Structure 1
Amino acid sequence: MKLLIGNRNYSTWSLRPWLVLRHFEIPFDDEVLQLSGPDWRDKIAARSPTGKVPVLIDGDLVLPETIAIIEYLADTFPDKPIWPADRRDRALARAASAEMHAGFPALRNHAPMNLRASHPGRVDLDAVRKDLHRVETLWGALLERSGGPYLFGAFSAADAMFAPLATRLRTYELPISDMAGRYVEAIYALPAFQDWLGMALQEPWIVDDDEIDVIQGRVAPGTLA
């Protein structure tokens, strides 16, 4: 089994299934397909049906899309608690994951994942206030129900879905409650996340489209070292 991923520093969608695979000790290899450089889109399109990452390869199966990959892993390894065991919790976990998949556009656009960076005060709070409120409401309800430290007690696919958002909160030091802060700390404390983070910090590549200085027009594309 192989997972094709983008640059670890930036690729939110790659991080999610990678965390599931690593945390639940499912044997796999990974391969980085860079999200920049000459003809990078063509190179990914040659390996991915959608022209995007991640892609899971299992024998002759070539499977794109993060949630589909996670569901395939849950079906293939039913002994692994990838989703919560309780039927109602499982439904809530899938609902939260679907909301993350389709929602939080302001945080996506104004606070891109960048694990190597620290940019406090660089995000327009008015632009992301609605998303931050929803994060607090959603996480708060689930953590109160479960008792934490993760959304459904033990780490699950729902936490993998929200891990990139947690990194955005830290990178840009966005204002959050103590409850949300403890959840962000729990994500960072996860050994699988630490493994990913360690590799991300060693990457030399820069993706201009995910650098806040380029997005906000402070520096020209191609000038970041």
Structure 2
Amino acid sequence: MKLLIGNRNYSTWSLRPWLVLRHFQIPFEDEVLQLSGPGWQENLAARSPTAKVPVLLDGELVVPETIAIIEYLADSFPDKAIWPSDRAQRALARAAAAEMHAGFSALRSHAPMNLRASHPGKIDLDAVRKDLHRVETLWGDLLARSGGPYLFGEFSAADAMFAPLATRLRTYELPVSDVAQCYVEAIYALPAFQDWRALALQEPWIVDDDEIDVIQGRVAPGTLA
């Protein structure tokens, strides 16, 4: 089994199924497909049916799209508790994951994931205030039900879906409650996340489209080292 991923420093969608695979100790290999540089789009299109990452390769089966990959893994390894075992909790976990997949567009566009960076004060809080309020409400309700440290007690696919959002809160030091901050700390304490982050910090590549100083016009494209 192989997972095709983008640059670890930036690729939120790649991080999600990778965390599931690593945390639940499912044997796999990964391969980074660059998200910048000469010919990167053509190379991606040649390897992925959607010209996007991630893509799971299992024998001759090719599975694109993060949620589809996670569901395939849950079906393939039912003993791994990738989703909560209780039916009602599983429904809530899938609802939260689907909301993350479809929502939080302001945070995603204004505060791109960048694990190597620290950019306090660079995000217009008015632009992301509604998303911050919703994530506080969602996380707060689920953590109150479960008792934490993760949304449904033990780490699940729902947490994998929200891990990139947690990194945004830290990278840009966005104002959140103590409850949300503790959840961010729990994500960063997860051994699988620490493995991903350590590899991300070693990457030399820059993707200008995901660098806030380029996006906001502080530096010119192609000038970050």
Question: Which bracket does the TM-score occupy, shorter chain normalised?
Answer: over 0.9
Where does residue 202 of structure 2 map in the other structure? 202
Structure 1 position 112 matched with structure 2 position 116: no
d(CA) in 1 for partners of 2:41, 2:90: 36
Where does residue 97 of structure 2 map in the other structure? 97
Q: Which runs of 5+ in 1 are unaligned?
A: none
The residue correspondences of 1:118-129 to structure 2 (distance < 5 A) are 118-129=118-129
d(CA) in 2 for partners of 1:125, 1:105: 14
Where does residue 42 of structure 1 map in the other structure? 42
d(CA) in 2 for partners of 1:104, 1:131: 6
d(CA) in 2 for partners of 1:46, 1:208: 23
Where does residue 62 of structure 2 map in the other structure? 62
- Percent pairwise identity: 86
The residue correspondences of 1:14-33 to structure 2 (distance < 5 A) are 14-33=14-33
Paired residues, number: 225
What is the CA-CA distance between 1:14 and the residue it aligns to? 0.1
d(CA) in 2 for partners of 1:33, 1:62: 16
What is the CA-CA distance between 1:66 and the residue it aligns to? 0.1
The residue correspondences of 1:120-199 to structure 2 (distance < 5 A) are 120-199=120-199
The residue correspondences of 1:202-221 to structure 2 (distance < 5 A) are 202-221=202-221
d(CA) in 1 for partners of 2:197, 2:218: 26
d(CA) in 2 for partners of 1:124, 1:92: 31
Query: Aligned letter for 1:181?
Result: Q
Q: Deviations over 1:90-141 (max 9, x none)?
A: 0000000000000001100110000000000000000000000000000000
Q: Deviations over 1:46-93 (max 9, x none)?
A: 000000000000000011000000000000001100000000000000
d(CA) in 1 for partners of 2:42, 2:97: 30
d(CA) in 1 for partners of 2:89, 2:187: 19
Q: Deviations over 1:125-174 (max 9, x none)?
A: 00000000000000000000000000000000000000000000000000
Question: SS of 2:79's equivalent?
Answer: coil
Where does residue 87 of structure 2 map in the other structure? 87
CA RMSD of aligned residues (A): 0.3
What is the CA-CA distance between 1:203 and the residue it aligns to? 0.2
* Ranges of 4+ aligned residues in structure 1 off by more than 2 Å: none
What is the CA-CA distance between 1:39 and the residue it aligns to? 1.0
d(CA) in 1 for partners of 2:56, 2:97: 19
Where does residue 78 of structure 1 map in the other structure? 78
d(CA) in 1 for partners of 2:200, 2:34: 13
